[in-house]
Amino acid sequence: MLGSEGTLAAGRTLVKLARNHQIGAMPRRDGYFSVSTLQDHLDTGHSLTLHCRCGRSRALSLPRLIEIFGPDFEIVANREKFLGRFVCNECGQRPNQITLGTPNTPRW
């Protein structure tokens, strides 16, 4: 799920930003930035939350995820590998959903 700042398209998150805004994500000609790797998500201020079928959820630490998977890891392209690393503390099942949170305040 994405807020009004982004849309999920072809395995990448597109975030509309001010024209002169400097960011670590790859700029595109249409004024959007391509956000796909863990490092991109960290640089843009996104948050990641895992959700289990039992209703529990857990916010994830992007710096810790980068230590585990590496900065160039793409969650959407490797969804099953990513989700396979986690187990719910409450029910023991694997999480079934990842929510991407966008920053609440503009960064320009």
pLDDT given for residue 35 in this prediction: 73
Assess if residue 56 is contained within a domain: yes
Residue 34: inside a domain: yes
The reply to whether 58 falls in a domain is yes
Residue 106 lies in a domain: no
Per-residue pLDDT of the chain (108 residues; tens, 9 = 90+): 333 333 333 344 444 444 334 444 454 455 555 678 999 888 888 889 999 999 999 999 999 999 999 999 998 889 899 999 999 999 999 998 988 888 765 555
Position 85 in a domain: yes
Length of the chain: 108
Identify whether 95 is part of a domain.
Answer: yes
pLDDT at 44: 84
In a domain, 107, yes or no: no
Q: Is position 82 within any domain?
A: yes
Element (H, E) at 63: helix 62-69
Domain that holds residue 51: 6-101
Number of neighbouring beta carbons within 10 Å of residue 73 = 17
C-alpha to C-alpha distance for 18 and 70, rounded to whole angstroms: 28
Distance CA 98, CA 47 (A): 10
Q: How many domains does the chain fold into?
A: 1
